[in-house]
Amino acid sequence: MAGEFELIKRYFADRGGGAGVVLGVGDDAALLDVPEGHELVAATDTIVAGVHFPEDCPARAIGHRALAVNLSDLAAMGAEPRWALLALTLPAEDPRWLEQFSAGFHALAARSGSALVGGDTTRGPLAITVTALGSVPRGTALRRDGARAGDALCVSGTLGDAAAGLGLFRGDFTTRVPGVHPLILRFEFPEPRLALGRALCGVATACIDVSDGLLADVGHLLEASGVGARLEVDAVPLSVPMELAIPAERRRALALAGGDDYELAFSCAESAVEGLAARAAELGVQVTRIGRIEQAAGLRCVDAEGAAFDPGARGYEHFR
Ligand code: ADP
Ligand code: MG
């Protein structure tokens, strides 16, 4: 056993490259310099073994996910990531696990420009809390509360993939594709939509990341904005792997209520949709119009013929 301090030094010590880091890992707290004219954007999320990911999920994926779910919150605010804190609760010190976990964490941290500046390390059932800190030019952050009647409702990427991947991982669905299925990778390695989030600043009227399921999260955006929406369920984009691997009758429920996709759902003027979709395509992300914001509260789902559609379950909620 190397001990707590040796472990921190080996796997989580300063990797360099952190802009605005006056003092990083090693003191009682980090000292950070927020750029002039910017606001600090702070988000924290915990992932717990057996709740947010299966116990046998690969360690590299857990390291990636722990940071990715937080960066997704920064993306939904239109923020640029700068720093991260990592509170790690581990059942044992397993060097192979730590090697993989930290590789997954550091790879995404480096790619997203997040410097790890501190954290905490304790023994207990596996749980990881990350705090992501970023910045936005003052007054430009995307929020949930700006959607207006007449706006278009849009979503990035494809939906339901992560929930389908988790189902495949657990054996709820079977597939003939050998090796790790692309849908499982969508669960294990979600890609926070950071570049898109920044491109939405000044264009989107409201934005949220889809972590608990499309209906649930769009519901939060509508409530915060004091509006409702009409959602065209057949317009919700599905991926090719989903259409190949998942029975047709299961796809809609996964896309509407499945969590963990970490795509962005947002509202914007109808006249802005085309330009945004083109800008998103340049960034390598698909943007799809899936409905319209309306004055009357509530989310009304309709099918391709315009008939009312009852989606059933809405999404994941703890304590329910
Ligand atoms: P304290 O007892 O003052 O809270 P700790 O022993 O918890 O200090 O941590 C020592 C230093 O190592 C601190 O700078 C802390 O931020 C950092 N640290 C601890 N655990 C981690 C971790 N998992 N990742 C990154 N930094 C960590
Ligand atoms: Mg501590």
Task: For residue range 52-83, list pLDDT tens digits in order.
Answer: 999 999 999 999 999 999 999 999 999 999 99
| Nearest-CA residue for atom 4 of ligand 1 | 28
| Nearest-CA residue for atom 22 of ligand 1 | 119
| Nearest-CA residue for atom 19 of ligand 1 | 120
Q: Beta strands 127-137 and 263-268: pairing type?
A: unpaired
| Nearest-CA residue for atom 20 of ligand 1 | 120
The stretch 124-134 carries a mean pLDDT of: 98
Residue 58 CA to ligand 2 center (angstroms) comes to: 26
Q: Is 298 helix (H, G, I), strand (E, B) or coil?
A: strand
Please check the confidence at residue 94 and state whether its pLDDT lies above 90: yes
Q: Which pLDDT value is given to residue 22?
A: 94
Q: Which residues line ligand 1 (CB under 6 A)?
A: 8, 12, 25-28, 86, 88, 116, 118-121
**Residue 88 pLDDT class (50, 70, 90 cuts):** very high
- Return the ligand 1 atom nearest residue 116 CA: 25
Q: Which H, E and C letters describe 43-112, residue by residue?
A: EEEEEEECCCECCCCCHHHHHHHHHHHHHHHHHHCCCEEEEEEEEEEECCCCHHHHHHHHHHHHHHHHHH
Sign of the C-alpha dihedral, residues 96, 101, 107, 110? negative
Query: What is the total residue count of the chain?
Result: 320
Which residues have C-beta within 8 Å of that of residue 216, sequence separation ≥ 6?
257, 259, 314, 315, 316, 317
- Return the ligand 1 atom nearest residue 120 CA: 20
| Nearest-CA residue for atom 11 of ligand 1 | 26
**Residue 311 pLDDT class (50, 70, 90 cuts):** confident
Determine contact, residues 91/126, Cβ cutoff 8 Å. yes
The whole-chain average pLDDT of the chain stands at: 95
Tokens matching residue 213: 């399921």
pTM above 0.85, yes or no: yes
The stretch 33-51 carries a mean pLDDT of: 97
Pocket test for ligand 1, best of 25, 46, 67 (most atoms within 8 A of CB): 25
Bridge partners (DSSP) listed for residue 48: 127
The stretch 196-201 carries a mean pLDDT of: 98
Q: What percent of the chain has pLDDT over 70?
A: 97
Per-residue model confidence as pLDDT tens digits over 246-273: 999 999 999 999 999 999 999 999 999 9
Ligand nearest to the CA of 87: 1
Per-residue model confidence as pLDDT tens digits over 224-238: 999 999 999 999 999
